[in-house]
Amino acid sequence: MYGVAPNVAEYRLEVVERIMDDLDCTVEQKLKGVVEGIQADRVVWDFFKSAFQGKYVGASYVDVRRKEFLNLVQGYKFVAEYEAEFLRLSWYTRGIVTTEYERCVRFEDGLQDELRVLIAVQRERDFAALVEKAKIAEDVKRSERQNREQDKGRSKRNFWPSSSFGGPKKRPRFDGPARAKVSTIVVRPQPCADCGRSHLGECWK
């Protein structure tokens, strides 16, 4: 395994451990299956993992993962995604998170505010139960948002009624103030006494 990238070495160790967990192996059986030639009563499984980390993963890599864990928050992730990341990084927190209580507090502190206010009052200190309650709270909040969006859509439709159901009526059109009619008087010229023609004004013959 010399020259293997830290994340690859980490993955291999996790795979081996998961397989042994599925087989219900005890700590001694895990050790015997991985470390050949070493007596099981002298080495425990946790020591092997610590030695594996120190040899193949590297202290700097572990420190980076620990900082990621300490700064981990849910953010925009689903609770299930946050849980998976939390469990993955908690593998590097030996000596930092040592009890079930500390693990629950750390997970709860990283939840979204709207979920944490619902969960914190219950003071759940079983990690599996805490995660399940967080998922339920997430579903409740999602349903509330969907209902609000539906109500908002109905309100918009009711605010703009169609013209066939009492829509806004047109105002009467006014072109301007009414104008009084002015009668026109037509003046017709009378026949001239001097020339006999009809014209206005002085006769010039």
Q: What is the pLDDT of residues 24-55, one digit of tens each?
A: 666 666 566 655 544 444 455 666 666 666 66
Q: Amino acid letter at 182?
A: V
pLDDT at 167 over 60: no
CA distance 73 to 82: 8
Domain end residue (candidates: 13, 34, 57)? 57
User: What is the count of structural domains for the chain?
Assistant: 2
pLDDT above 90: percentage of residues in the chain: 27
Burial, 32: exposed, middle or buried (Cβ in 10 Å; 0-12, 13-18, 19+)?
middle
Higher-confidence position of 105 and 157: 105
In a domain, 163, yes or no: no
* Mean pLDDT calculated for residue range 69-77: 94
Domain end residue (candidates: 117, 141, 157)? 157
Structure tokens at 108: 């709860």
In a domain, 175, yes or no: no
Greatest CA separation for the chain: 159
The reply to whether 44 and 78 lie within a common domain is: no
Q: Amino acid letter at 164?
A: S
Torsion of CA 151, 157, 161, 163, to 10 degrees: -160
Q: What is the pLDDT at residue 37?
A: 45
Instruction: Report residue 2's pLDDT band, with 50, 70 and 90 as the boundaries.
Output: very low
pLDDT at 164 over 90: no
In a domain, 137, yes or no: yes
Number of other CB atoms surrounding residue 136 within 10 Å = 14
The parent domain of residue 48 ranges over 1-57
φ and ψ of 156, to 5 deg: -65, -40
Which own/partner pairs from 116-124 qualify as long-range (CB within 8 Å, at least 24 positions apart)?
none
Structure tokens at 138: 């997430």
Instruction: Report residue 191's pLDDT band, with 50, 70 and 90 as the boundaries.
Output: confident
